Amino acid sequence: MGNDGALDGSRVEALAAARATLTRLEDDAWRIRRMLDVTQETLTVFENGLVIDTNPQFEVMFRGKREDAIGKHAIEFVAPESRALVAENQRAGYDAPYEATLVRMDGTTFVARIRGQNFQRGDRTIRISAFTDATAERLAAEAIRKAAVIEETVRLQAELLSRLSNPLLPIAEGTLVLPLIGAIDEARAKGVLGALTQGIVAHGARFVILDVTGVEAMDAHVADLIVSGARAALLLGARALLTGIRADVARTLVALGHDLEHLVTFATLKQGVAHALGARR
């Protein structure tokens, strides 16, 4: 009787342990299944190339029912141009990420990033693969590339426009002409002043003719540029000549109160050029 009681006690303990183990396994399985349900990747289990299980994300990515995929061969979901690659990677147990073109169940295609791994379960070879739609990433990368190209094009166009709108013309040894044309804002004025000072040094200029015949309107930016250019020229050993003076230009310069003592002014560019060439002789 004593031994029978001990055996019964052992059976109860073993049964309780088995039940605890089963509960733990069920909990583990439940957690794993929930994790598979919420992942953004499509996870698919293959055996001998056939689909034996997949997570709910399959229906979003492949636009079809999960149950309709079970039993189908992996190659059925691969575009012709990628079949050799996918088949070889499955056969070799390739486990690094790669890209291939896949076919949805509605016949449309998309580029996927695939990461798979082979596992042995007894005499069975199981391959689990994770699929990520790479279309959005490719579109984003292409958009970034195009934006960079556009940005560089705009930069080059702005640089070219700056050069064209700020032409510094050497008309004789030691004499430069800088025709100011169109509207001049603060940014352009800085560019013009930079081109002027660099040109004086590069050409060893004695005279710089600032021609404002083509300026749309004489405002503070243009006036400041003229005065700053004249002062910069003087510091670099050159003399600034201002040509194309109209009545409104003269009134604006006077009204703004700029010191014009460093400037020699002429009504026309022709007069300014004649003065510079005559002074050289």
Going from the first residue of the chain to its last (281 residues), give the mean pLDDT of each consecutive group of 10, the final group possibly shorter: 59 74 70 63 91 91 93 95 94 93 95 92 89 83 79 68 66 87 77 87 90 78 83 90 82 73 82 81 57
Token pair for 193: 């002043």
What CATH superfamily is the domain 27-134?
PAS domain (3.30.450.20)
Rg, C-alpha atoms of the chain: 41
- Helix (H), strand (E) at residue 93: none
Tell me the domain boundaries of the chain.
27-134, 166-280
Q: Under CATH, which number does the domain 166-280 receive? A: 3.30.750.24
Q: Model's pTM, two decimal places?
A: 0.45
Residue with tokens 């689909």: 51
Alpha carbons within 13 A on the beta-carbon side of 231 = 9
Token pair for 54: 């997949």
Q: How far apart are CA 61 and CA 115, in angstroms?
A: 15
Burial state string for 7-24 with b = 16 or more CB within 10 A and e = fewer than 16: eeeeeeeeeeeeeeeeee
What pLDDT score was predicted for residue 89? 93
What pLDDT score was predicted for residue 67? 93
Strand partners, 215: 182
What pLDDT score was predicted for residue 64? 93
What pLDDT score was predicted for residue 146? 80
What pLDDT score was predicted for residue 279? 66
What pLDDT score was predicted for residue 163? 56
